[in-house]
A and B are shown apart, each in its own frame.
Chain A
Amino acid sequence: MSESDLQPLDGNAAAGLLGEMFWRDMTTATGICAGCGSEGPFAEARLFASAMGSVLRCPHCDNVLLRAARTPRGVWLDMQGFRSLTFTPTPDAN
């Protein structure tokens, strides 16, 4: 099955994996896409997940924002599709 046949999940579903690496919740961050410059919540990006790893794509231009994979050496993460990520403290979940 190719990536495009799958029903995508979204950034919410990547929270656990990223929580292994970062000691804070990433899904509340606001990201800017390096492809089209649009800005939006991490949680609203499209996630294509498989046993091999996960690919997060921009909902506007399909640019790959993030790739994550489990390798024998540990978790591998490529986030170059984000131009930037902004973390704003929220009253409930910072």
Chain B
Amino acid sequence: MHELSIAEAIVAVAGRQADGRRVTKVHVKVGHLRQVVPSALSFSFGLVAEGTPVEAADLDLEEVPATGWCRRCEAESRLENFPLLCKTCGGSKLEILTGEELMVEYLEMEEETADA
């Protein structure tokens, strides 16, 4: 189950970037081609985050559809399943445009500030 490995990596990135602050939300972009099961990732995230500055955070997953650009006919297609084929000409020589993302985009945190 690679969601557990990915959750560990997300918690590590968020914990380091939080720099001691309490994280309330972690926004992660996940491309369709990464084969991540969102519910499994959320579950794993809850397990792994325990006892870290990310403990109380919501994991906010943004799923990015897979799209490709056809080198033969230059059309752009949404790619749902394998084989990855151009929807216009059926060609298989595609440049993947989106769908391989796996990125922590932003964090929301609580910061303690002195009252004015």
A, B in one complex: no
Instruction: Write the residues of chain A forming the contact surface with B, with a CB cutoff of 8 angstroms.
Output: none
